[in-house]
Amino acid sequence: MATGMRWVKEDPARWDEGKRRIVGDAPVGTFDRRFKELKVGDLVPGAWWHVEADGKIVGYGWLDVVWGEGEILLATSPDCRKLGAGTFVLEHLTAEARARGLNYVYNVVRASHPQREAVTRWLEKRGFKASEDGSLLRAVTKPA
């Protein structure tokens, strides 16, 4: 699936049915509880992109700058997992952070995340270093 995907900036970013389906309907504990409280049309903070494949939204990426580092969120549709969408989102978020002059991106895998260990291992395989608080950090290096 990784081929043929499109990375689309949302400006302005608003809560929509796709975000509700992929982020808001994720199992309890996966993401911030506030995502379950948003209404379609609400503005959402940070920079958002969606990933399209075959005309369908299959994932989202979010980036916010916190203390000079890029905090990221990535989410893919459950029916598109293990098909490259998550890696596609992660690499595009890394490029977005690099373009902003950031040196690091990080992700927080909540203690309540139902697949915390699997998600942590997935991020570690992609160069993130985990800490005991659930945050994972990766340097944003220049492409070779």
Nearby residues of 121 by Cβ (< 8 Å), 6 or more positions away = none
Residue-wise pLDDT tens digits, 29-78: 999 888 889 999 999 999 999 999 988 999 999 999 988 899 999 999 98
Residue-wise pLDDT tens digits, 20-31: 999 999 999 999
Residue 130 domain boundaries: 6-139
CATH number (domain holding residue 58): 3.40.630.30
- Find out whether 139 and 103 touch, Cβ atoms under 8 Å: yes
Is 127 strand, coil or helix?
coil
pTM greater than the 0.85 cutoff: yes
Nearby residues of 116 by Cβ (< 8 Å), 6 or more positions away = 109, 110, 134
| Domain assignment of residue 35, yes or no | yes
- Total domains in the chain come to 1
| Domain assignment of residue 75, yes or no | yes
Nearby residues of 21 by Cβ (< 8 Å), 6 or more positions away = 77
